[in-house]
Amino acid sequence: MNTRSPFPIVGLLIGALVLAAIAVGVIAVLRIDPSGEQGSGLSEAFDYDLQQYQKIDPALFHYKQTAAISTGMREPRAVAVGSDDRIFVAGDKLMRVFAPDGAKLKEIALESEPQCLTIGNAEHAFPGRTYVGMKDHVEVYDPSGSRIASWAGRGEKAVLTSLAAAENDVFAADAGAKIVWRFDTDGKLLGRIGQRDESRNVPGFVIPSPYFDVAVAPDGLLRAVNPGWHRIEAYTFDGHLETFWGRSGMGIAAFCGCCNPSNIAILPDGRVVTAEKGIPRVKVYSAAGQFESVVIGPETLAPNPSATVETRAEHKLRPVDVAADSRGRILVLDPAAASVRVFEHK
Amino acid sequence: MSKIVGGTRRVPSANCGTRRVPPTLSRIALFLVFVAMSAAVALAAERFPPPDFTDHKLPETSQPSPRGLLLDYLDLAALAVGLSLASYLAIVRRSRRGLFLLTIGSLLWLGFWRQGCICPIGSIQNVTLAVFDQSYRLPLVAAAFFALPILFALFFGRTFCAAVCPLGAVQELAALRPVNVPAWVDHALGLLAYVYLGLGVLFSATGTAFVICRYDPFVALFRRSGSVNMLIFGACFLVVGVFIGRPYCRYLCPYGAILGLVSKVSKWHVKIPPEECIQCRLCEDVCPYGAIREPTVALPATERRRGQKRLALLIGLFPLLVWLGFWLGTRLEAPLSRLNPTVRLADRIRQEQTGRVEGTIDASDAFRNTGRATENLYGEALALSATFHTAGGWFGAWVGLVIGVKLIHLSVRRRRTDYQPDRAACVSCGRCFWYCPGEQARQGWIQEITPLQRNV
Amino acid sequence: MTNSSNQKLDRRAFVGNALRVAGAVGIGGAVAALAARKGQSREWVWQIDPAKCIACGNCATYCVLDESAVKCTHSFGMCGYCDLCTGYFHPDPIALNSGAENQLCPTGAIKRTFVEDPYFEYTIDEPLCIGCGKCVKGCNAFGNGSIYLQVRHDRCRHCNECAIAVSCPSQAYRRVPADDPYLLKIREQKA
């Protein structure tokens, strides 16, 4: 029933109440911000912050960058050092060769996308020969750049991530099969290294993601990264595990995250260069595994400060590849900048 | 993604306006083969295998399905049944009690159990989006929710509002001490519903937001959860609704605006006295929504001439009003486009780049990490702003049109001999039935009434 | 006189009815045409595109429901089954066990079970998960990204406009058909 009340005060009260309710309602609705710009409102316990682990004491950097060679590639994947310290970069669907000072020497087109490569050094049976690892097979190129062989595919599960060449052997690290294949220079399979074997105390490789690196060290042993165990293992070519070193942890001397280091390189004196993903950093350890120095850290490797923890696959920092030349220079392939950064000891 | 609703980005070159070619069987087969091949390749290429377990089966990621379509069709059936029942009760049976019970039923089912979503009010936006975005396919249920109450209104008046709409139902129950709203306030505020309709269409046509859903005052109440501010907003509406009956229905509901227009030409409509009106005015007194119009008095000739001149002036001014509205609407490009997330992001990125604002927000960080060129974003934002320029103009023209029509409508001379419900404003709630002596006589509660003398 | 006026009324009524029926058919037909475009009308539900999600945490607080309908989802085929899972453990755990001080998840919603040496399986306890995405960040920072956020459709209210979608900083929400409502990182066989 509509009111025609004899008490005007009631009308005033009702009017005041209605106006107050309208005012409160309008204020409430204006305070709503559906855009999410204010943030989630969750407490600090829900923050994931790696900042504290990314800080590195500047005194630990014993290397300085002396050059940066632009690869000109959209997606460079691997870097290696060939004869005369020439720099080989594999990416996109090609291979580029640069002089030690960065001058572009050669470009070789490839049939499919290269994942890794290695070049036979002076002691190798065929010095200067380039072995390029595609996803599931190895291709061989002579020093002039023409393809001389394509070895048999390693199967559907194969994911070749690294190659290393000794005098008469070529090693292919297969992250999919979690094994290191041993070939001779013709591509014949000689054996496999790292298969789980309790009797020989070989634990087997724990490889959760396609980052699995091998390198031949000056002491004649093959160094293979066991990422899940956070250590670098030294094997004889017959597969006997000689020694290993490395531990997990966020500290600068340890390997961070769940599976690191992602790449390694061996300096001429046997020291090991390691590259990690997650907290992108390149470090140098002694041949026995003592931490020595940091080469480059997240501050200079990340394209922008917030890019280190991103959930989208294409925005994660692609792990860097490392190589070392005969002069002890460390080459770091920076995929974000698509360039090879050259570091020398201070 | 340039917007939060809809499927793919609305780029003229890419998705819309493609010629419709009837697909032949071979074409379909070829497409399926291609899809299968690319899917197989994609799977094989991207997936790095998990460890080789000696004896462990990988669990499957659970994928619980959404509630089946059956429940949606049940809602639709409930709507149809409710509409039929409401129309029957309002027009044939003329039973306020029946309508009241149906109101409670609708509140419980469509309101608290189905939690008030999807509703016909929001479906305006779905239909609009389907018209303007080729990639959005309108669900059948949304289409039916939009069309069914309108179809019923075309024949029976606003019976949806009477006892079926849960928002109306909760306001109906809250109208405990309605006061008389002065006519000029009522008419002025009534325009807001059309403006809101225009805004709802504007934002859904540009694929920016469903504002009607976003600012639905009662849905938080129905869900018994939501942001505190929305709950306060809803509570304030109810407090206001105690004194001003059905504030949302009368002054804001965009669907009510549509139903009102349709109801003006409905075949049947709620009638107050079953036979003759005796001008007792009891119904006008009891109507909580001020929807009953009194009989008109004959005006002297001078007044009539003045009225005609005013009407002529308003009709002449009408195009000017629309044009002015269009022009003013285009000026609204900036505030309207701010609701669009892409435009806001572009704004923020520019502010950060020029140093006008410190720090970054999640959205700008996320954008920078995509590696997409800022020029690209700016281009997209500019294109969207241009869309808002024209859309704002149309919105302004609509508001001008609505104001013009309202003024003309108020100036047209009506001739009413009885107290009648306003066909657009009456929500068919049926409260007037009980108070009309003619109805009471029909029900047998009082003896036959003697017709009173009427004023000529 | 009355006859002709009656006729006029009848004609008017007839025309009026005809127009109404035409209007009804018109409205009904137009709306049906929109719904039946391309021969198929479908129900839409909301889903997160994991390629765009940045795990900002808005999913946990912007859902209209008190307990968000967004939960973490694990694609087991992508997981590395690491002993030191960075989605499960704090970046610097004291020990690799299920002690609360070692876990990343603030609500303890991830369960770690031993499979075989040295592999562990991680499953999500949905009632405990609030959809904050901290584990997603951890998994993506160092690991394979096998944990990510998805809208769980047995919990989602299917609002016409998803409040989380509006608040998402990277516009990761989109409409997907109700019969295929998940955007999993790898397509698995549906049971």
- pLDDT tens for each residue of A316-345: 567 789 999 999 999 999 988 889 999 999
User: With contact defined as beta carbons under 8 Å apart, do A55 and A47 qualify?
Assistant: no
**Mean pLDDT of the A109-131 span:** 93
**How far, in Å, CA of A37 to CA of B361, rounded?**
7
DSSP code for C97: S
The answer to whether residue B398 is domain-embedded is: yes
pLDDT for the residue numbered C166: 95
Q: Which letter, b or e, does each residue of A48-85 get, where b requires 16 or more Cβ atoms within 10 Å of its Cβ?
A: bebeebbebeeeebebeeeeebebebeebbbbbbbeee
The Cα angle at residue B450 between residues B447 and B456, in degrees rounded to 5: 155
Residue count of chain C, please give it. 191
- For A319, residues 6+ apart whose C-beta sits below 8 A from its C-beta are A211, A262, A263, A275, A276, A277, A280, A335
Q: What integer is the mean pLDDT of A294-305? A: 77
Q: pLDDT tens digit string along A14-64? A: 999 999 999 999 999 999 989 988 888 999 999 998 888 888 999 999 999
**How many Å lie between the alpha carbon of A64 and the closest alpha carbon of chain B?**
28
Asked whether B201 and B99 are in contact (CB, 8 A), the reply is: no
Residues B173/C76, Cβ–Cβ less than 8 Å: no
Containing H/E element for B12? none
Task: Please tell me the distance from the alpha carbon of residue B157 to that of residue A74, in angstroms, as a whole number.
Answer: 66
Per-residue tokens: A13: 């009260």
Mean pLDDT of chain A: 90
Please count the residues of chain A.
346
| Cα gap A145→A150, rounded to integer Å | 14
> Which among A205, A312, A317 is the top mutation candidate for probing chain C, defined by the most C β-carbons within 10 Å of its own β-carbon?
A312
Q: Which residues of chain B have pLDDT under 50?
A: 1-45, 453-456
Whole-number Å distance between alpha carbons of B145 and A284: 69
**CA distances (Å), origin C178, targets B57, B95, C155, C175:** 29, 41, 14, 9
In this structure, is residue B22 part of a structural domain? no
Verify that B290 and B309 share a domain, yes or no: no
Average the pLDDT over A131-142 and give the result: 93
Nearest to B147 among C20, C31, C172 (CB): C31
DSSP A227: G
Which among B220, B216, B368, A311 is positioned nearest to C59, based on CA atoms?
A: A311
Residue B438 sits in the same domain as residue B379: no
Structure tokens at A170: 């070529």
Q: By three-state DSSP, how is residue A60 classified?
A: helix
Q: Do C53 and A309 touch (CB under 8 A)?
A: no
- B31/B26 Cα distance (integer angstroms): 9
Q: B117 lies in a domain?
A: yes
Range of the domain at B145: 71-296+426-443
The pTM (predicted TM-score) of the whole model is: 0.87
B287 lies in the same domain as B142: yes
Amino acid at A226: N
Higher pLDDT: A314 or A117? It is: A117
H or E element: which one contains A190? strand A189-193
Are B306 and B288 in the same domain? no
Distance CA B99, CA B157 (A): 14
Domain boundaries, chain A: 48-345
Q: Contact, B377 vs B342, CB < 8 A?
A: yes
CA-to-CA distance for B296 and B279, rounded, in angstroms?
12
pLDDT at B28: 40
- Is the Cβ of C48 closer than 8 Å to some Cβ of chain A? no
Do both B246 and B262 map to the same domain? yes
Q: How far is CA C180 from the centre of its chain?
A: 11
Length of chain B: 456
Of B275, B252, A64, B131, the residue nearest C33 (C-alpha): B131
Residue contact C148–A311, C-beta within 8 A: yes
DSSP A200: G
Chain C hits for B128, Cβ within 8 Å: none
Characterise B224 by phi-psi region: left (phi > 0), alpha (psi -120 to 50), beta (else). left
- Is residue B247 located within the same domain as residue B366? no
Let me know whether B220 and B365 are in one domain: no
For C29-84, the pLDDT digits (tens) are 888 887 776 545 578 999 999 989 999 999 999 999 999 999 999 999 999 999 99
CB of A12 less than 8 A from some CB of B: no
C-alpha neighbours within 13 Å on the C-beta side of residue B189: 18
Q: What is the pLDDT of residue B27?
A: 43
From chain A, the residues in CB contact with C133 under 8 A are: 311
Structure tokens at C93: 């755990």
CA C20 – CA A280 distance, rounded (Å): 71
pLDDT for position A38: 87
Tally of CB atoms within 10 A around B363: 23
* CA-closest candidate to residue B86, choices B141, B175, B168, B177: B168
* Structural contact between residues C60 and A219, judged by C-beta atoms closer than 8 angstroms: no
A48-345 CATH, one of 2.30.130.10, 3.20.20.140, 1.10.3720.10, 2.120.10.30: 2.120.10.30
How far is residue A113's CA from residue A123's CA, in Å, rounded to a whole number?
28
pLDDT of residue B303: 84
pLDDT at C40: 53
What letter represents residue C86's amino acid?
T
Among A316, B211, B250, residue whose Cα is nearest residue C54: A316
> B233 and chain A: CB distance < 8 Å anywhere?
yes
Residue C122 CA to residue C131 CA, distance in Å, equals 16
Q: Cα(A140)–Cα(B120) distance, rounded to whole angstroms?
A: 69
Cα A74 to its chain centre, rounded Å, is: 17
For C114, which residue in chain B has the nearest alpha carbon?
B56
pLDDT in tens, C99-158: 889 999 999 999 999 998 889 999 999 999 999 999 999 998 888 889 999 999 999 988
- For B10, B194, B350, C56, the CA distances from A39, given in Å and listed in that order, are 28, 34, 20, 8
Residue B114 counted as domain residue: yes
DSSP states of B217-243: SSHHHHHT-S-HHHHHHHHHHHHHHHH
Whether B97 is covered by a domain: the verdict is yes
- Say if C134 is an interface residue toward chain A (CB within 8 Å): yes
Chain C nearest-CA residue for B113:
C157
Count of structural domains, chain B = 2
B156 & B180 share domain = yes
- Radius of gyration over every alpha carbon of chain B, rounded to an integer in angstroms: 28
From chain C, pick out residues whose CB is under 8 angstroms from the CB of A37.
Answer: 169
Please indicate, yes or no, whether residues B143 and B292 belong to a single structural domain of this protein: yes
